[in-house]
């Protein structure tokens, strides 16, 4: 039994139904494996007494779960309506230029993944960019080189 298995079971113990712990359990597995590999999903399923098919259904619904490998850092640029109106497309392009990859890709060195995201919920001051799940807002295209530099150094 791995430490992860026990950790998941401990979390599951806080819910009346073990299956209800599927979100925190997937989170733990992702931290452990980097992304949700089929083995990770199998392990979550067996710790919760459910099936990998069920876990994959849930995991694939949420953007913050990764079923394929991602970089060490994750940049999500909101391109939904409010941000689009204040130049999100240009911000995204600036990231693409700076990183040399397209949205949805990871830099060849495996350091940084860039994605375009649906509404991140910070519409008051766009463009919202989430970097490793922390928000920067508003971000202008000219801010991008510094952000990338910071990540590369970091």
By beta-carbon proximity to another protein, the closer residue of 50 and 90 is: 50
Q: Strands, E, within 31-132: which ranges? A: 73-78, 112-117, 129-131
Q: Which is nearer to another protein, 20 or 60 (CB)?
A: 60
Query: Closest CB to another protein among 63 and 150?
Result: 63
Sign of CA dihedral 28, 32, 37, 43: negative
Residue ranges that bind another protein, judged by CB under 8 A: 38, 41, 50-54, 56-57, 60-61
Q: Give me Rg for the CA atoms of the chain.
A: 18
Cα 20 to Cα 55: distance, rounded to the nearest angstrom: 11
Least gap, CB of 62 to another protein (angstroms): 8
- Residues in Cβ contact with 78 at an 8 Å cutoff, skipping those fewer than 6 apart: 88, 116, 117, 118, 119, 120, 122, 126, 127, 128, 129, 130
Shortest Å, Cβ 85 to another protein: 22
């Amino acid at each position: 039994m791995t430490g992860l298995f026990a950790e998941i079971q401990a979390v599951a113990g806080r819910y009346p139904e073990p299956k209800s712990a599927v979100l925190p359990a997937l989170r733990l597995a992702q931290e452990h494996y980097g992304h949700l590999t089929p083995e990770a999903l199998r392990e979550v399923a067996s710790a919760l007494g459910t099936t990998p098919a069920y876990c994959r259904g849930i995991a694939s619904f949420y953007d913050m779960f990764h079923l394929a490998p991602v970089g060490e850092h994750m940049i999500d640029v909101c391109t939904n309506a409010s941000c689009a109106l204040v130049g999100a497309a240009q911000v995204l392009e600036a990231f693409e230029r700076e990183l040399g990859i397209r949205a949805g890709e990871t830099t060849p060195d495996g350091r940084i993944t860039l994605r375009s995201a649906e509404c991140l919920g910070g519409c008051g001051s766009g463009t919202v960019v989430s970097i490793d799940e922390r928000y920067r807002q508003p971000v202008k295209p000219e801010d991008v080189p510094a952000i990338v530099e910071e990540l590369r150094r970091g």
